[in-house]
Amino acid sequence: MRSHAPNGILLVDKAEGWTSHDVVAKARRALGTRKVGHAGTLDPMATGLLLLGAGPATRLLTHLVGLDKTYTATIRLGIATVTDDREGDALDRDETERLEVAARIAALTDSPAPITAAAAALTGPIEQAPSAVSAIKVDGRRAYDRVRAGEQVELAKRPVTIHAFELGDPRTARSDRGDEVIDIDATVRCSSGTYIRALARDLGAALGVGGHLVALRRIEVGPFDVAAAVSTAALADGGVGAAEMLDPATVAERLFPVLRLTAQQEIDLGHGKRLEVDPELHPDARLVAAVAAEGPGAGRLVGLVEVKRGRTRVVTNFPTPDATGLGSGASA
């Protein structure tokens, strides 16, 4: 009997040191398919939630990338680095600058109110310059490749939204070279496209002491929580399969309004036809999850549609896992 190809969304708790590509490669082996992609990378230094899609469900990844995200982080104030995180070299300072920063750190230790005020100024809609070692392309080359080649890279600011920037109690520490610094834990809830490294950099810059990221963990992507994720160790051991994956319809129903389809509507939508729906039951919406309600395919995500003035328009169709001629989904 032919086994069904994998089709679903897998939540993975990425360990430190793994690249997002590493996670995809292990998932391909564990799930027995090349058709695996992810919805947003995490740096090797970072840990936490990575969303993977397998089979036809890779078509959902496009609609997951833009979800809001929540991170926990540790920010070190007192030192700025080339990469805005602990993996980069500290920016050089002359003796006068070191003394000035040391005095400001001492003042912040005695009265941390300016740290709270600076974080508040970085909350809400802001313009943020991404870290120079990001994967953003500049004239066809990744910014981090240009930085590694010794080039000076300044990326244009872009709008992001910091929904919450909550700080814990500051604590003093010593850097490897003996400078007094302040470490502070933070929880950040933000729009997609936000660089937490850049947020740490900008917090330190606003205080006149420099700052960088010491630790980062992504704990939420939209409604999905890292507590429900499988570990990269389990993935590497091959102990992850279809049972650990979320069904595409389950995922879509958590994100979008739902349109339940009759058997005939399922066929029509599969052929790309527009459906007539009751505008009172189904008001205008940019994305609606169209789910089969009848027959052997009941519960299957048939497609994502736009609803406008009582008519649907197919945005993304989802073939059955064993269908031939599948279109390409997202990939690493």
**Using one digit for the tens of pLDDT, what is the confidence trace for 174-204?**
998 888 999 999 999 999 999 999 999 999 9
Which numeric CATH code is attached to 69-220?
3.30.2350.10
pLDDT of 231-256, one tens digit each?
999 999 988 888 899 999 999 999 99
Which pLDDT score is estimated for 142?
Answer: 63
Which pLDDT score is estimated for 331?
Answer: 35
Which pLDDT score is estimated for 242?
Answer: 84
Structure tokens given for 255: 């994100």
Q: Is the pLDDT of residue 148 over 90?
A: no
Q: Confidence band (pLDDT; 50, 70, 90) for 144?
A: low
Q: Which positions are annotated as active-site residues?
A: 43
pLDDT mean over 79-101: 92
Tell me the domain boundaries of the chain: 8-67+223-244, 69-220, 248-317
Residue among 44, 208, 212 nearest 115 (CA): 208
Does 248-317 carry CATH code 3.40.50.10710? no
Please tell me which residue, 322 or 320, carries the higher pLDDT value: 320
Query: Which DSSP symbol is given to 206?
Result: H
pTM over 0.85: yes
pLDDT mean over 39-47: 91
Please tell me which residue, 89 or 301, carries the higher pLDDT value: 301
- Spell out the SS3 assignment of 9-24: EEEEEECCCCCHHHHH
Distance CA(31)–CA(39), nearest Å, equals 17
Query: Which DSSP symbol is given to 315?
Result: E
Q: Is the pLDDT of residue 285 over 50?
A: yes
Structure tokens given for 219: 């704990």
Give 45's Cβ-side CA count (13 Å radius). 15
Which SS3 state, helix, strand or coil, does residue 95 take? helix
The answer to whether the beta carbons of residues 50 and 67 sit under 8 Å apart is: no
Choosing among 3.40.605.10, 3.30.2350.10, 3.20.20.70, 1.10.3720.10, the CATH entry for 8-67+223-244 is 3.30.2350.10
Instruction: Specify which of 119-133, 205-219, 310-324 reaches the highest per-range mean pLDDT.
Output: 205-219
Would 8-67+223-244 and 248-317 be classified into the same CATH topology?
A: no
